[in-house]
Amino acid sequence: MIICIGAGPGDIGYLPQRSAELIRNADVVAGFNAVVNVVQALIPQSAEVVLMGYRDQVAQLDKVAQLHHAGKKCVVVFMGDIHFSGFQYLERVERACGHPVDTIPGISSAQILASRAKVCFDETTFITFHRRGDLTPFKRHLVHVLEDQRNAIVIPCPWDEARSFMPWHIAAYLLENGIPAQQPVEVWEHLTQAEAQWRGTLAECAHQRFSDMSIMLIRTMNPIPSQIEPPPEAQ
């Protein structure tokens, strides 16, 4: 048995009960060091822990797949929710196993941000730059989203100098592509842990620096007016 679960944005209190139960009964718990750390308190002493990082993830997932094929109950732990910026890792798990695997969603940093900043999903688009491959279509899509007067929740890319696309790079790119300098921006760091929050304009964001654990909200300048019924006294 092997199952992938979302561990939530950092605080174990956001882990679904079903996922907690799976970890408590696991023979093997695997994942990136910082993510396994979130669920550490639930891992039984008898379980084997397979830790990995960007460089050795393929080899370590092969090891997990072997344990799974040997009949061990394996749980692979993902940061936040699997379905936002987690699918390439899921693809690696499935490639190592040679078949599709079951998943349990977790609470994403994007959901916590939406809750803190009070934005509704209906009027918001989610984009990640934290992925391998060509980022160009995602960059273009972000410009279109903002031109369409929607909010955007964006996961930046914190990798090496050549590839990194952090909030200040994103802001500079959007300014170059005609998005107004006064567009409101928020950057939230370490949500559910040592939270920090910054608010400003796109122009100001281009000069700010943030840690790798940051997520960005670019608000529309023209929010959709309320479309619910008028209050009773006005009817």
Which residues here bind ligand SAM, judged by CB under 6 A? 9-10, 79-81, 84-86, 108-110, 130, 155-156, 158, 188-192, 212-215
Least CB distance from residue 211 to ligand SAM, whole Å? 9
Q: How far is the CB of 234 from ligand SAM (least distance, A)?
A: 40
**How many angstroms separate the Cα of 153 from the Cα of each of 23, 31, 128, 215?**
30, 25, 8, 7
Paired sense of beta strands 2-6 and 102-104, if any:
parallel
Closer to ligand SAM by Cβ: residue 36 or 215: 215
Q: Which CB sits closer to ligand SAM, 8 or 29?
A: 8
Please answer whether residues 112 and 13 qualify as being in contact, where contact means their C-beta atoms are separated by less than 8 angstroms: no
Amino acid at residue number 45? Q
- Nearer CB in complex with ligand SAM: 189/204: 189
Torsion angle (degrees, nearest 10) of CA 136, 142, 143, 148? 140
CB of 80 closer than 8 Å to CB of 6:
yes
Least Å distance, CB 190 to ligand SAM, is: 5
Length of the chain: 235
Q: Of the two residues 9 and 31, which places its CB atom closer to ligand SAM in the complex?
A: 9
Least distance between ligand SAM and beta carbon 82 (Å):
7
